[in-house]
Structure 1
C-alpha cells in the first residue's frame, strides 16, 4: 500500500522522524525544520495537528502507535527492515566487516546490494525544509562514499573494464571529488587506455583551478606521474585494505627463481683438462 502526504508540513515532519528512526526528534527541531528561525506563535499547535493527521494516515497499516509523543518531542517506530535507509546502513556495515575479513568478492556483492536500494534522491524535490535537505545531504554522502568503497573492491577483483562507464558518469556528477577521479584514472589505465587516464587528470586539474584555485592533491598527482611512467605496480590489484583503511601500497610480485645453470665452457678445453685432476669434487672455475 502506498500512502500520499500532500501537506508540505506533514511531509517535512515525517521525513525528519524517518531519518531519525527510533530516536527522539525534539519539538524545537521540528519547528526549525518547518519555519526556520521565524516560527509563528501557533507553531506547537500546528505541529500537533500535523502529527494527528499523520497518525490517521499511518493507522491504515493497522498500528495506532507508530508515532510516540513525549514531553519534548516525537519518535517514530516502524518494523525492522521496512526503512531503506536503515537497511542500507546495516548492509554497509556487513560489507565492511566482510572486507576486513578479506572476503573481497562477498564484500563487493554486499555493498552493491546496498547501493541497489537507492531509486532516486533521498527526499522529493518539493520538500523545501533546510533541515531535511541537510539530513538528506548526509545520507547522500554515505551513498557516494559506499560507491567508492565498492568500486575500490571491484578494482581489486580486476573488473576495471566494467567500471569505466560508471566512473565516467560519476566524475561528471561529482567533478570535485578527487577520490572518484583517482578510481576513474586507474580503471582507464588498467583497461589499456593510458591517454584517456591522463586526459581525465588534466580535466580535473582544470576544474580545480577554475572553480577553487587549487592544484590536485598530492595523492592524485602521484597517480598521474605513475601513469605517465607506466609503472607496473598500477596493473596489480592491492590485496588488503578498504577505502580509508587501505595503506595505499600495492603488492609487488617478486619472482623467486633458482640461479640459472652455468653455461658450457667453450674454447678452454686445454686449461680445463689441466686443472680437473686437482678438483676434489670435479668442480672448477675457469677465468
Structure 2
C-alpha cells in the first residue's frame, strides 16, 4: 500500500488508486494516518468527524465508517487487518515505505545531519528530495478538526524549515544565481519569515547587487512594522549593517 498525506489525501495499492471523495472517509483515514502506529481514541475521531454536532449514536456511526474504510483498503489490495480495534479506539498499521510522511522525515533528518557535517552537496540532494515529497497544500479540503488542522500546520512548518536549510546549503556551495529567484518568490509567499529575507540579502550581496540587498532589508522592515509592529530580528539588522559597510565577513558563511 501507499498512503500520501503531504498534498491531497491519496491511497493506492496493487489493485488501484483512490482519491477518497467521501468527506467523512477522508477525515477518518487522514486522522488514522496522522496517528499511524498508535491508537487514536474514539472520542478523538468523533470530534474530528462531527466537531460540536455528533449524531446521537456517534460510536455506532464511527464503527460504520471504519468498516467502510476497511473495505476500501482491502479493495485496493491492502491487508484485512490494516485497521485494528484497540481500546480505547483504532490503530492503523503502515509498513516501511508506505507513508509519504515517513519518507519526508527520513530524508529531512538525513539532510540535516549532512548539513551539520558540512557535506553540503549531499545535504542538498536529501533536502530537495524531501521537499519533492510534498505535492501541494497538505490535506487541502480534508476537514477542519484539531487532528487534521494541527498536522497541516506542523507539516507546513517542517516544509519551510527544510526549504530554509536546503537554501543554506546552496548558499554554502556558492549557488547564488541559481537560488535568487527562488528566494524572491519565498519572501513574497511568506513575508513574515525573516530567514528568507536574510538569505536573499546575502545572495544579492554576493552577486554584486548591494543596493538590491539593502532594498530587501527595507522591504522586510516595512512588512514587519506594518504587520507585527516589530523591528527586524537581530541577525537581519546585523546583516544589514555588514552590507552597508561591505564587511569582509560576508565573504565567509553567514548563511547558517
| Cα RMSD for the two superposed structures | 1.6
Quote the residue 1:183 is aligned against.
199
1:117 aligns with 2:162: no
Tell me the CA shift for residue 49 of structure 1. Answer: 0.8
1:6 aligns with 2:38: no
Gaps of 5+ in 1: 247-287
Q: Is the 8 A contact 1:105 1:157 kept in 2?
A: yes
Q: Is the 8 A contact 2:32 2:91 kept in 1?
A: yes
- Choose 1 or 2 for highest CA Rg: 1
Q: CA 1:8–1:151 in 2, change beyond 3 Å: closer, same or farther?
A: same
Q: Is the 8 A contact 1:181 1:201 kept in 2?
A: yes
Partner SS for 2:18: coil
Quote the residue 1:89 is aligned against.
105
Partner SS for 2:156: helix
Tell me the CA shift for residue 65 of structure 1. Answer: 1.0
Q: Is the 8 A contact 2:24 2:49 kept in 1?
A: yes
Structure 1 residues 85-140: Cα deviation after superposition (integer angstroms, max 9, x where no partner): 11000111111222233322111211111111111111123533343122111011
Quote the residue 1:66 is aligned against.
82
2-side partners of 1:62 and 1:87: how far apart? Answer: 20
Quote the residue 2:8 is aligned against.
none
2-side partners of 1:210 and 1:38: how far apart? Answer: 39
Task: Give the number of aligned pairs.
Answer: 240
Q: Is the 8 A contact 2:142 2:148 kept in 1?
A: no
Q: Say which structure is richer in strand.
A: 2
Quote the residue 1:210 is aligned against.
226
Q: Is the 8 A contact 1:158 1:237 kept in 2?
A: no
1:104 aligns with 2:124: no
- Name the stretch that deviates more: 73-82 or 199-208: 73-82
1:229 aligns with 2:245: yes
Partner SS for 1:98: helix
1:49 aligns with 2:64: yes
2-side partners of 1:19 and 1:182: how far apart? Answer: 33
Partner SS for 1:68: strand
- Name the stretch that deviates more: 201-210 or 71-80: 71-80
Partner SS for 2:48: helix
Structure 1 residues 250-283: Cα deviation after superposition (integer angstroms, max 9, x where no partner): xxxxxxxxxxxxxxxxxxxxxxxxxxxxxxxxxx
1-side partners of 2:93 and 2:30: how far apart? Answer: 13
1-side partners of 2:184 and 2:218: how far apart? Answer: 14
Q: TM-score, normalised by structure 2?
A: 0.88
Partner SS for 1:30: helix
1-side partners of 2:201 and 2:170: how far apart? Answer: 15
Q: Is the 8 A contact 2:26 2:142 kept in 1?
A: no
Q: CA 1:11–1:62 in 2, change beyond 3 Å: closer, same or farther?
A: closer
